[in-house]
A and B are shown apart, each in its own frame.
Chain A
Amino acid sequence: MKNFFLKSIALLILLVFSSNLTASEGGGQSNSEEKNVNIGELIGHHTSDSHDYIIEIPFFHYTLHLPVILWTDKGLSVFSSGKFQGDNEGKVVVTDKKGNRFVKIHEVIYYADKVKDTHHPNVFDFDSRPLDFSFTRNALAILFVFILLIVIIHFTRKAYNNPHKLPRGIAGFIEPVILFIRDEIAIPNIGPKKYEKYMPYLLSVFFFILLSNLIGLIPFAPFGHNITGNIMVTFVLALFTFILTTIGGNKHYWKHIFNPPVPYILKPIMVVVEVLGMFIKPFALMVRLFANMFAGHTSLISLVALIFIFGSVLVAPVSGLFYVFISFIKILVVFLQAYIFTILSALFIGLAVEEHEEHEHRTA
Chain B
Amino acid sequence: MSLTAPETLVFWMTLFFLIFAFLLTKMGWKPILNAVKEREKSIEQAVLEAEKVREEMAKLKADNEKLLQQAREERENILKEARELKNKILAEAKSEAEKVRNDELAKTRKLIEAEREAVVKDLQNQVAQISLEIAEKVLKNQLADKDKQMDFIKKNLSELKLN
Cβ of B2: which chain A residues have Cβ within 8 Å of it? Answer: 44, 48, 106-107
Q: Compute how far the CA of A123 lies from the CA of B13 in the bound complex, rounded to whole angstroms.
A: 19
Name B20's contact: one of A149, A179, A182, A235 (CB within 8 Å): A149
Which one of A52-60, A133-141, A273-281, A321-329 is at the interface?
A133-141
Closest to B40 in A: A179
Name B8's contact: one of A44, A139, A160, A175 (CB within 8 Å): A139
Kindly state the interface size class of chain B when it binds its partner: 20 to 34
**CB-contacts of B4-20 with A (<8 A):** 4-14, 16-17, 19-20
Cβ of B4: which chain A residues have Cβ within 8 Å of it? Answer: 48-50, 106-108, 123, 136
Name B13's contact: one of A50, A142, A175 (CB within 8 Å): A142
A binding-site residues for B, Cβ under 8 Å: 43-44, 47-50, 106-109, 123, 129, 131-136, 138-139, 142-143, 146, 149-150, 153-154, 156-157, 160, 163-164, 171, 174-175, 178-179, 182, 196, 199-201, 203-204, 207-208, 230, 232-233, 235-237, 239-240, 294
Nearest Cβ on chain A to B12's Cβ, whole angstroms:
4
Nearest Cβ on chain A to B42's Cβ, whole angstroms:
7
Cβ of A44: which chain B residues have Cβ within 8 Å of it? Answer: 1-2
Closest to B34 in A: A160
Interface of chain B, helix or strand or loop or mixed?
A: helix
Q: Compute how far the CA of A33 lies from the CA of B96 in the bound complex, rounded to whole angstroms.
A: 144
Cβ of B27: which chain A residues have Cβ within 8 Å of it? Answer: 150, 153-154, 157
Name B32's contact: one of A49, A143, A157 (CB within 8 Å): A157
Q: Compute how far the CA of A132 lies from the CA of B11 in the bound complex, rounded to whole angstroms.
A: 9
B binding-site residues for A, Cβ under 8 Å: 1-14, 16-17, 19-21, 23-25, 27-33, 35-36, 38-39, 42
Q: Compute how far the CA of A138 lies from the CA of B19 in the bound complex, rounded to whole angstroms.
A: 17
Q: Compute how far the CA of A157 lies from the CA of B25 in the bound complex, rounded to whole angstroms.
A: 11
Tell whether, in the assembled complex, residue B8 and residue A133 are in contact, meaning their CB atoms are under 8 Å apart. yes
Q: Compute how far the CA of A107 lies from the CA of B42 in the bound complex, rounded to whole angstroms.
A: 56
Cβ of A199: which chain B residues have Cβ within 8 Å of it? Answer: 29, 33
Tell whether, in the assembled complex, residue A132 and residue B17 are in contact, meaning their CB atoms are under 8 Å apart. no
